[in-house]
Amino acid sequence: MSIKSFFICAAAFLFIISCNNNTTQVLLQDETDTHLQARETSVSLLIIEPEPLYNYFPDHVYGALRPTEKMIFDNDLLQLFRQQTQSPVVGKKVSEDLVPDQLESRRFELEAGPINLISPKQGTDLSTSNINSRFTVILDKYHFSSYQVETGGGSYAGHEGDPQNRIRLDTAYIIWDNEQKREIGWGMVNASHILYGDDATTSYQNVIKSAFQKIIKVSPFIKSDSV
């Protein structure tokens, strides 16, 4: 590498860090068009699933969904993303739609530590005749976990807090630019919400919306007025 190239790379890295205070998310802001309008930031979703890709990437740690969670991913995910952004959300793809030869396992650096994700190879356009978008958000390593916290009350005997059930979503993601045919953002986000015993679906939907809000906050997408 030449001295000139070294300083260009170093400057770009410092620019990324200075523009992003979140240690689990990166946006290559110098690689995006700062004048993008909502209509120009069309986005699709891509879900990395283990079944179609396991034989190609057997060592990858895939996302995992229980039946109720998979039903919500299948039926509600696209609409939940649409509610968080003014950018046109034009469709959802799954791993079965992919050509495995166009994918690779890659290491993505974060201040909080590196993550390995299944990524398109440089030069890949994920748009198709059915789903044509400027950007694709790729979700990987997603999983929900249930836990319990104590609320209210005190620490002395006879005044223990009431237990509250909660649901948490963790997911990794890549923002892929189909025009530049490369990644322009990536990260890990999580969100949690009260788990309603009589309406678990709403709890799942709310926690997914919160995670999407975090992704959109560090992205070229236009936030919804209601967020």
Q: Residue ranges per domain, the chain?
A: 21-217
pLDDT confidence of residue 96: 86
> pLDDT tens for residues 179-204?
999 999 999 999 999 998 889 999 99
Contact 172, 185 (CB under 8 A): no
Which CATH number applies to 21-217: 1.20.1290, 1.20.5, 3.40.50, 3.30.460? 3.40.50
Residue 143: pLDDT over 50: yes
pLDDT at residue 1 is higher than 60:
no
> pLDDT at position 9, please?
40
Neighbour count for residue 198 (Cβ, 10 Å): 5
Model pLDDT, residue 159: 54
Residue 97: predicted pLDDT? 84
Task: Quote the CA–CA distance of 215 and 143 in Å, as a whole number.
Answer: 16
Residues in CB range of 44: below 8 A, 6 or more apart: 89, 90, 91, 92, 93, 126, 127, 131, 133, 135, 136, 137
pLDDT, residue 6, reads 34
pLDDT of 151 higher than 90: no
Strand partners, 73: none
**Tens digit of each residue's pLDDT (9 = 90 or more) over 68-81:** 999 999 999 999 99
Between 13 and 196, the higher pLDDT residue: 196
